[in-house]
Amino acid sequence: MNKNTIIGSVLMAVIVIWWMTMNSANAEAQAAAKAKAKEAAAAEAAQSQPSGELVLPDEKPEVKAPPVLGAPVVADSATADSVATDSTVAADSAAQPAPVAPRTVTVETDKFIMTLDNRGGRIRSVIAKALADSAGKFPELIQDTLRGALDLKLGNADLSDVLFAVDAPEWITVDADTSVQFVFEDAGKNKVIRSYAFTKTGVSVRQTNKFEGFRPAEYELSWKGGMKETEELPKGKSFGGASYFFSEVIFNNSENVERETVRDAETFKNDRLVWAGLRRKYIAMSVQFDKPIPATLQTKFMKVEDDEKDPGTYQIALTDNLRGDSLSYEFMVLPLQWDEIEALGKDYEKVIVSGWTWCGANVWFVWICKMLLKLLKLFYALIPNYGVAIILVTFIVRGITTPFTVKQLKSTRGMAKLKPQIDEINVKYRTDPQKKQAAIMELYSKNNINPLASCTGGCLPMIIQMPIFMGLFFVLGRAMELRGMPAFLWISDLSKSDVVWSGFSIPFVMPAGLAILPWIMVVTTYFQTKVTMSGSAGMDPAQQKMMVWMMPAMMFFFSAVMPSGLVLYWIISNIWSIVQYKVINRNLVPATASSKLNGKEVKDAEIVKKK
């Protein structure tokens, strides 16, 4: 190798080494610049985010990106490529979370089928298996499935439109304890984790929300989709038909279970809220906390647009301060079967029947209804026909109250016997009330009649009977056990009107079609009222005639849309009353004016005038 070649080679090596050194220095400078820029962006994001509160930037309308912590995230994979080219959105691809596409996860247990939505990590759909219709189809419980239930808001940050990442199959059949987890993570590595834990046979879902990297001060849990009626609503306009369907806001404030029908919007502040939710006729859903909390319940009426007969549903929201780094509760799906919900120990049975707290009816009246339902189920266990069970329960209830009725009738007849003498006293001493009262009391005394005993033997027994009759009335109108249950002959469903011909209808009275039981109700009510009025002392004949016709007409209007189980109970009760009065009247003197009382001469009162 000559001298020139050696010099050239050395110069080339020096140039190569110098070039490599310069490139390395530039790369290090660029890396340092990028790191510095990244640190600056993170610091800026941290400064814009207050402690304990999520601050979510606005979405780009064209991209439809979800709100996130510190940086926007691509919401739709179909637009991911176009967004990636936008330097204002993806200045540093290394800091961007992976795009999340909308999707759902459906979980099936023995009790329900629930669909979860990764948008907001909410519940989108709940299908109850306990309420299959005649075709075997299960009803949807969420009125508006696009809005769903259990949206979460932390401070001012609304997560209802955030797309959560979820790693779960589209359909899960629960054979053992299973959980589905939704995760949202921002550029600052802050996380919101929403998980749903399922059991095979449980009526609840355990919903847990964990917060990593930050701690919210307060939360709002909202249920925007309302609750859908599972039963077929009566057709056409009728008198009182909708009164047998329920759409209520329900909550347990540790003192009592409240059932509210809200017309517009209303707020309920609770110091010790146990659970809150919504109910329809045969089912309820609620958010149940592990221990009572001081939460505010906000409610808003939600009209069902496609059904004018539907009483509507409600949107509700629960607001409270967050205690700790997580929020957990049970989401309950509760078919209103008394024994099952009572066993939960949270007073859910009072969703079916409740009572006034001022007189303790929230305890004793609920107990009466419980005993009547147990008696109904006992007879059904012996004779598997709820129609027969209703008849037997009616016999027992009327048998228990018969002694009071007999005493009342005897008392009424005794008072009727003395009416001519009382009328004479009223005329004789019309200007002297004291003498008139003394004469009437002496008349009662000489004929062994105690006015106080007559009152307690007449009015009080009726007052005692009323809670029993009302309890049976409520139980038959609300008991899920009667749903879809046939009785006999044409009565195919005790929870509905016994329509036998839909081709004929009476506007406002029988809009769904011709029913038979209401006509039987009219006939039995007419004779029952007539027999009862014949034993009433002192009632004007014109008043008696009016009552004989008014009662059947009134009962016809209401019974035409009543559940047939209720109408059957009332018919049997009328028949019992007719037979009862016929038997009692054989052994009692007719209630007409006479000089004899119970076979003895009526003794006139001797009025002693004051000197």
Domains and CATH numbers, the chain: 104-352 (2.70.98.90), 370-596 (no CATH)
Helix axes 433-446, 419-428, angle to 10 degrees: 160
- How far is Cα 609 from Cα 611, in angstroms, rounded to an integer? 6
- How far is Cα 58 from Cα 76, in angstroms, rounded to an integer? 16
Q: Which residue has the higher pLDDT, 70 or 495?
A: 495
Q: To which H or E segment does residue 30 belong?
A: helix 3-48
Question: Which residue type sits at 385?
Answer: N
Percent of the chain with pLDDT over 70: 73
Q: Report residue 336: phi and psi, to 5°.
A: -85, 70
- How far is Cα 301 from Cα 303, in angstroms, rounded to an integer? 7
Six-digit token pair at 438?
């003394």
Q: To which H or E segment does residue 333 belong?
A: strand 326-335
Of 286-295, 304-313, 372-381, 387-396, least confident by mean pLDDT is 304-313
Q: Is 435 in contact with 426 (CB distance < 8 Å)?
A: no
Q: Which residue has the higher pLDDT, 546 or 115?
A: 115
Residue 88 pLDDT? 34
Q: Is 407 in contact with 461 (CB distance < 8 Å)?
A: yes
Percent of the chain with pLDDT over 90: 45
Q: Which residue has the higher pLDDT, 447 or 232?
A: 232
Pairing of strands 171-173, 104-108: parallel
Residue 76 pLDDT? 41
Average pLDDT (452-468) is 63
Q: Which residue has the higher pLDDT, 78 or 315?
A: 315
Question: Which residue type sits at 236?
Answer: G
Q: Which residue has the higher pLDDT, 403 or 217?
A: 217
Average pLDDT (111-115) is 97
Nearest to 250 by CA among 378, 347, 126, 110: 347
> What's the chain's length in residues?
611
Helix axes 517-534, 541-559, angle to 10 degrees: 160
Nearest to 192 by CA among 181, 184, 200, 180: 184
Q: Is the pTM of this model over 0.85?
A: no
CB atoms within 10 A of CB 9: 11
Residue 143's contacts (CB-CB under 8 Å, 6 or more residues apart) are: 225, 226, 227, 228, 302, 304, 313
Q: Is 515 in contact with 503 (CB distance < 8 Å)?
A: no
Nearest to 533 by CA among 549, 557, 519, 555: 549
Query: Could you tell me how far CA 484 lies from the centroid of its own chain?
Result: 20
Six-digit token pair at 600?
């003895």
Query: Could you tell me how far CA 27 lies from the centroid of its own chain?
Result: 67
Of 137-151, 476-490, 503-517, least confident by mean pLDDT is 503-517
Q: Which residue has the higher pLDDT, 297 or 74?
A: 297
- How far is Cα 315 from Cα 277, in angstroms, rounded to an integer? 10
